Structure 1
Amino acid sequence: MNSTYFTEEHQLFRESFRDFLQKEVVPHIEKWEKTGTIERFIWKKFGDMGFFGLNYPEAYGGMNLDLFYTVVFLEELQKIKSSGFAAAMWAHAYLAMTHLNAEGDERIKQEYLAPSISGDKIGGLCITEPFGGSDVAGMRTTAVKKGDKYIINGSKTFITNGVYADYYVVAAKTNPELGHKGISIFLMDTKTPGISATKLDKLGWRASDTAEIAFDNVEIPVANLMGEEGKGFPYIMQHFALERLIMGVNAHARAEYAIEYTIEYMGQREAFGKKINQFQALRHKLVEHATDIEHCKVFNYAAVARLNKGEYVVKEATMSKLKSTQVADETIYSCLQMLGGYGYMEEYPLARLLRDSRLGPIGGGTSEILKEILSKMIIDNQDYKPAVK
């Protein structure tokens, strides 16, 4: 435990959450990986235990805890052999719910945030589009105001929890001629007519429900606009810092899990008359990766500590995701190699971990996009400011 950031209370929470995952989640993982559907009962159990409300206001059933409880939540979810299950949980709690809390009015918070914290409603964040990818400003989905309603047309893709969500937080253009300045954020109940969701078949994250969603003249009340019209882009950018930090923490945690598992395996596997943890080539490769992971952890924790104080850490969060996801992929690749043929077998965790990890440098902004963002900040001295509601 890193005592610089984690208290005894954090550690007690870690032990409690780890025990919960082993008892309530792990026995179902293989079924959910095969079916691609996480059963509703587990969402309710997470809610009953308070796991969705860690850093949300007490007024809506949350516990208003610091972000290092969230770090514990993320790290432990990466160590149960299903990044897909983990993604479903954190996408609900820290993508969809973040917007409800930040931009939703009191009615939205009572009707959607509170049930999300309790595990009675599941949310999905709908930003990425089939023709846009990382180009958020280039989205084509429109929201046209007619009387007391908005009419939404368009499509979204790669949406985590897209099929079985109860509501979406949707980005759409209210003024397309204004480009990124014409984007707004809306709440949309998934029972609304005109919505269709198609489940996508993925390389990894198999337990996670990922969907392409179409909106065909979907009518929602004007009251479902979140925040100010036209402020959607800065809202999205502001929350990307948290999303990227989450993905950075996820990455260092799954890399750490790969190292821990591989060390245990190497201590049992024998070749040429000795345990393979005695072969210098393997030992040195392993400690190189362990060093990279530790660097990422220290950096990520420092960035979380600043975000927890309310600082706008968009540069650090972008660096976190860029470097940590690269380190995770490289580490897991090497760890699989150290298991030899067994690493390639599905009954061992490294095969799935390799597939699951590959999404890291893609989702939440590709590594290529992140490098360009950092180039603008570091080379061109561009300054990104937080949105003001």
Structure 2
Amino acid sequence: MTAATPERGALKQAAADFCRRHVVPHLDEWEAAGEVPRALHAAAAKQGLLGVSFPESVGGEGGDLLDSIAVQEGFLEAGASSGLLAALFTGGIALPHLAATGDAHLVDRFVRPALAGELIGSLAVTEPGGGSDVANLRTTAVRDGDHFVVNGTKTFITSGVRADFVTTAVRTGGAGHAGISLLVVEKGTPGLTVDRALTKMGWHCSDTAELGYADVRVPAANLVGAENSGFAQIAEQFVVERIALAVHAYGIAARSLELAAAYVREREAFGRPLVRNQVVRHTLVEMRRQVEVARTYTHAVARRHVAGESVVAEACLAKKTATECATYVCDHAVQLHGGTGYLTGTEVERHYRDARILPIGGGASEVLTDLTARLMGYA
């Protein structure tokens, strides 16, 4: 437990209980449907789970990143998937930039309703052919009176199919990171289209879209912060996003380890339980070691972030450590389940598929490793 307190323990338990009641019985259905129902957002908001880390002044519960981690851990321990968390808590990436401005229009129009489960937001940064190269995005926003006119394409947008609004990274200035801004574009605005709903290897219940912007007129009041300050806003929130993805990673790894340990105790081969084989026990120990290391390090980085330290490099390291843990543990969980682990609908099979996006999302491991090298003075 991160900076364990009775309050966070209760919060984690409440999240787990919510997940067992409202998520686990329906997760296979949502995986097949390719999306999470809007009603789940409203139910989670009613329980105070959507806005746990947002200030009360913008409609949140007044907690911090450590409280958010407690909620995510509760969900994952109860059997949620990484994709479920991505879909349900998409406000965690769509809203922080808006909330941080304190802009009454943005807060009242978008943040409060989203934290109340009435609206769904998404964040659109990535572009076709652009990947992690945020500084060179090509979607443009040209000022025209009291509007911006937006043209371009975004892809791999989490919750982009269902979203009521999209916090969109656009180029309002010259080349490079200094010319980027954030604009909130509302669903239904002429010229904004969901060009494709993307099918994926994993995260099946998390709808993912390719969005088109063709002469989309966006009120200048929907500008997030100062014009051309978008890159700094995105970079600041990337720390929290990478820590969250690390939690996804060690969380599904821990759950997969639990499932595998239970299975090898029950499954018999050659007249005795699988766990009686030394190689199986040693595999479980290595899986546990990697989970504990990833969890402990991520917690330490999260505590430093909450304390106000700059942990850009450490967040990259936490994400890499945890995603490598998930890759290893989820793979070995499937192996220990044998043919059963390869069947669609088996929980470890879902975690195995979901784990593959984690070293890519929020900045590919290779890009973040190079960033870390520069931050640590190795380049």
Short-chain TM bin: over 0.9
Aligned equivalent of 1:212? 210
Please report how far the alpha carbon of residue 260 of structure 1 lies from its aligned counterpart in structure 2 after TM superposition: 0.6
Return 323-332 or 83-92, whichever deviates more: 83-92
Please report how far the alpha carbon of residue 37 of structure 1 lies from its aligned counterpart in structure 2 after TM superposition: 2.1
Unaligned runs of 5+ in 2: none
Aligned equivalent of 2:175? 178
Aligned equivalent of 2:321? 323
Identity of aligned residues (%): 38
Runs of 4+, deviation exceeding 3 Å: none
User: Secondary structure at the residue paired with 2:143?
Assistant: strand
Q: Which amino acid aligns with 1:30?
A: D
Counterpart Cα distance in 1 of 2:58 and 2:359: 34
C-alpha RMSD of matched pairs (Å)? 1.3
Counterpart Cα distance in 1 of 2:155 and 2:113: 25
Contact 1:266 1:275 in 2 (8 A): yes
Aligned equivalent of 1:82? 81
Counterpart Cα distance in 1 of 2:345 and 2:139: 42
Counterpart Cα distance in 2 of 1:246 and 1:238: 14
| CA deviations over 1:107-162 (Å, ceiling 9, x no partner) | 11011111011000100000000020010011100000011110000010000010
Please report how far the alpha carbon of residue 59 of structure 1 lies from its aligned counterpart in structure 2 after TM superposition: 2.4
| CA deviations over 1:7-31 (Å, ceiling 9, x no partner) | 1111112222111111112222111
Contact 1:241 1:317 in 2 (8 A): yes
Counterpart Cα distance in 1 of 2:206 and 2:181: 27
Please report how far the alpha carbon of residue 280 of structure 1 lies from its aligned counterpart in structure 2 after TM superposition: 0.6
Contact 1:77 1:83 in 2 (8 A): no
| CA deviations over 1:210-269 (Å, ceiling 9, x no partner) | 000000000011111111111111111111001000001111111000101101111101
Q: Which amino acid aligns with 1:120?
A: E
Contact 1:81 1:349 in 2 (8 A): no
Contact 1:346 1:352 in 2 (8 A): yes
Confirm or deny that 1:267 pairs with 2:269.
no
Counterpart Cα distance in 1 of 2:209 and 2:61: 31
Please report how far the alpha carbon of residue 348 of structure 1 lies from its aligned counterpart in structure 2 after TM superposition: 1.8
Counterpart Cα distance in 2 of 1:104 and 1:182: 22
Contact 2:136 2:175 in 1 (8 A): no
Q: Which amino acid aligns with 2:231?
A: F
Please report how far the alpha carbon of residue 104 of structure 1 lies from its aligned counterpart in structure 2 after TM superposition: 5.4
Unaligned runs of 5+ in 1: 382-389
Contact 1:252 1:328 in 2 (8 A): yes
Confirm or deny that 1:126 pairs with 2:104.
no
User: Secondary structure at the residue paired with 1:170?
Assistant: strand
Correspondence list, 1:369-380, <5 A: 369-380=367-378
Counterpart Cα distance in 1 of 2:122 and 2:345: 31
Counterpart Cα distance in 1 of 2:205 and 2:131: 22
Please report how far the alpha carbon of residue 90 of structure 1 lies from its aligned counterpart in structure 2 after TM superposition: 2.5
Q: Which amino acid aligns with 2:257?
A: I
Aligned equivalent of 2:114? 116
Counterpart Cα distance in 1 of 2:345 and 2:123: 33
User: Secondary structure at the residue paired with 2:90?
Assistant: helix
Q: Which amino acid aligns with 1:257?
A: R
Which one of 182, 187, 191 corresponds to residue 184 of structure 2?
Answer: 187
Contact 2:31 2:204 in 1 (8 A): yes
Q: What is the total number of aligned residue pairs between the two structures?
A: 377
Aligned equivalent of 1:280? 278
Aligned equivalent of 1:386? none
Counterpart Cα distance in 1 of 2:183 and 2:286: 46
Q: TM-score with structure 2 length normalisation?
A: 0.97
Q: TM-score with structure 1 length normalisation?
A: 0.94
Please report how far the alpha carbon of residue 307 of structure 1 lies from its aligned counterpart in structure 2 after TM superposition: 1.2
